[in-house]
Amino acid sequence: MMPSLETFWNTGGTLLAALAGARYDARMTADYSDRNPELGSLYAAHLAEVMARHDDALEKSGAAHLVVFSGCPTYAFLDDNTYPFRANPHFVSWAPLTALPLSYIVYTPGETPVLVYYQPKDYWHVVPGAPSGYWTNSFDIRVVHESEAAAEHLPAERDKCILVGEIHDDAHAFGIERVNPSTTMNLLHYARGQKTPYELACMRLASRRGVSGHRAAEGAFRDGASEFAIHQAYCQAVSHADNELPYNNIIALNEHGAVLHYTDLERQAPDESRSFLIDAGAQVHGYACDITRTYSKEDGRFADLVQRMDVLQQAITDDIRAGVDYRDLQIKTHALIGEVLVETELASGSAESLIGSGVTSAFFPHGLGHLLGIQVHDVGGFMENESGTTIDPPSGHPFLRLTRELLEDMVLTVEPGLYVIDMLLDNLRGTAAEHQVNWDTVAWLRPYGGVRIEDNVRVLADGVENFTRDAFAL
């Protein structure tokens, strides 16, 4: 069994990142709520919707009470340091507290939700301050100084409770046996696909924040900076430490742009910076943006390819609206990629033949996009209904993370790409597809890595609201 958190703190262990994050939450509230009072005005309706979803889930699950655990920092093996803390996204959906470990939401339908707010007595680290912000009036807040004291604020009838959260230590469940039951989780995850006005407002702000970082990163690239220095410029612009980013930044110069999740960050600038692919996000109150752009250092052939991919990305985005099957957009994207391959002399033949022979999959091996929200790859992307029935990706497209019919107020990414990935292209050798690939043009593109353009869009009845393009326009 893990030592108690009190023992850990009192022996000088490190939870600085997790606890400093509580101070970060307060800073975020000051930075964004004061400038955007709409968050405070929208929050009450958001919480009412969250409660309504949980009322439904509790009734259908045959339970009377909900307990949501924020999570506990996890120790590195044979060490007294912890990994960066990530709060349970279900906890964050109730309150904008992304860095409050060992805390609980306790909810009984018809009653004011209780927040058991863990505030340890500690002189080694910064501890969470007094609860403050637009959300506090919506909770019965009970501050505890020892983690075991949370038990006093949980329902006495543990057998009528459902606990939602990651439990590594049974002590954190306080005798609740129904942990993350599938009926409850399916209902909550399916509903979470559609965002409330409050969530949409947070995500617009996250996009604006992320775009400020993208602008700074592009400037650093054009000044000849290293990948590591570009990353630093990005973090400075968005005011995030690494562990506050919603995911590890992809900062890829030249051929590194062909590694889909490149995060190595070379410390030295290359002799020549030809291209720059950045896939980087930011967050506001736990809600993320996920933006990708590709830049060419000079005008010319690669810059033209980037422009072609941008036009392709916008063409796919123009097809998005409520009622569309996202799988159809994945297939259409491959047809458009086939056309780009022919137009740029990377391959020859019809788009249909390039799809059939696997050429388009070698150049574009990943999915078109995914749901976005509290989690970057938000839950529910494969769900057909609230019972948990799933929809498989179309044949030949195993990495597509969104297979649902689109509904209004979903937020999703649209991120087509085209890369020189030698491992995949080599698989075409010795097949009919080998003769469809123009290997000389591939050799030209290889030093540039590849191209990806990614926007975050809200689904409307007759189109989209493009958070990313709107933020860049500002």
167 and 210 belong to one structural domain: no
Per-residue confidence (pLDDT) for residue 100, from 0 to 100: 96
275 and 424 belong to one structural domain: yes
185 and 223 belong to one structural domain: no
Last residue of a domain, one of 153, 169, 191: 191
Could you count the other beta carbons within 10 Å of the beta carbon of residue 354?
27
**Tens digits of per-residue pLDDT, 301-344?**
999 999 999 999 999 999 999 999 999 999 999 999 999 999 99
User: Length of the chain, please?
Assistant: 474
Contact between 87 and 70 (Cβ < 8 Å): yes
For the chain, which ranges sit under pLDDT 50?
A: 1-30, 32-34
172 and 280 belong to one structural domain: no
Determine the Cα–Cα distance for residues 15 and 73; give it in Å rounded to an integer.
8
User: To the nearest whole number, what is the mean pLDDT of the chain?
Assistant: 92
Residue with tokens 């996202």: 326
Per-residue confidence (pLDDT) for residue 36, from 0 to 100: 67
138 and 243 belong to one structural domain: no
264 and 403 belong to one structural domain: yes
As for how many domains the chain has, the answer is 2
Pick from 55, 289, 65, 44: nearest CA to 191: 55
304 and 368 belong to one structural domain: yes
Could you count the other beta carbons within 10 Å of the beta carbon of residue 383?
21
CATH number reported for the structural domain that contains residue 350 in this entry: 3.90.230.10
- Amino acid at position 397, single letter: H
| Range(s) of the domain holding residue 403 | 197-473
Determine the Cα–Cα distance for residues 95 and 199; give it in Å rounded to an integer.
11
Last residue of a domain, one of 191, 215, 239: 191
Handedness of CA 198, 201, 205, 210 (dihedral sign): positive
> For residue 249, what are its two tokens?
């930044």
Per-residue confidence (pLDDT) for residue 35, from 0 to 100: 54
Last residue of a domain, one of 161, 191, 221: 191
154 and 280 belong to one structural domain: no
180 and 223 belong to one structural domain: no
Pick from 308, 337, 331: nearest CA to 319: 331
3-state SS, one letter per residue, for the chain: CCCCHHHHHHCCCECHHHHHHHHHHHHHHHHHHCCCCHHHHHHHHHHHHHHHHHHHHHHHHCCCEEEEECCCCCECCCCCEECCCCCCHHHHHHCCCCCCCCCEEEECCCCCCEEEEECCCCCCCCCCCCCCCCCHHHCEEEEECCHHHHHHHCCCCHHHEEEECCCCCHHHHCCCCCECCHHHHHHHHHHCCECCHHHHHHHHHHHHHHHHHHHHHHHHHHCCCCHHHHHHHHHHHHCCCHHHCCCCCEEEEHHHHHCCCCCCCCCCCCCCCCEEEEEECCEECCEECCEEEEEECCCCHHHHHHHHHHHHHHHHHCCCCCCCEHHHHHHHHHHHHHHHHHHCCCECCCHHHHHHCCHHHHHCCCCCCCECCCCCCCCCCCECCCCCCECCCCCCCCCCCCCCECCCCEEEEECCEEECCHHHHHCCCCCHHHHHECHHHHHHHHHHCEEECEEEEEEECCEEEEHHHHHHHC
Pick from 206, 2, 231, 232: nearest CA to 98: 206
126 and 210 belong to one structural domain: no
Determine the Cα–Cα distance for residues 33 and 40; give it in Å rounded to an integer.
7
**Tens digits of per-residue pLDDT, 389-431?**
999 999 999 999 999 999 999 999 999 999 999 999 999 999 9
184 and 293 belong to one structural domain: no
> For residue 429, what are its two tokens?
């050798």
> For residue 333, what are its two tokens?
């994207």
CATH number reported for the structural domain that contains residue 76 in this entry: 3.40.350.10
258 and 305 belong to one structural domain: yes
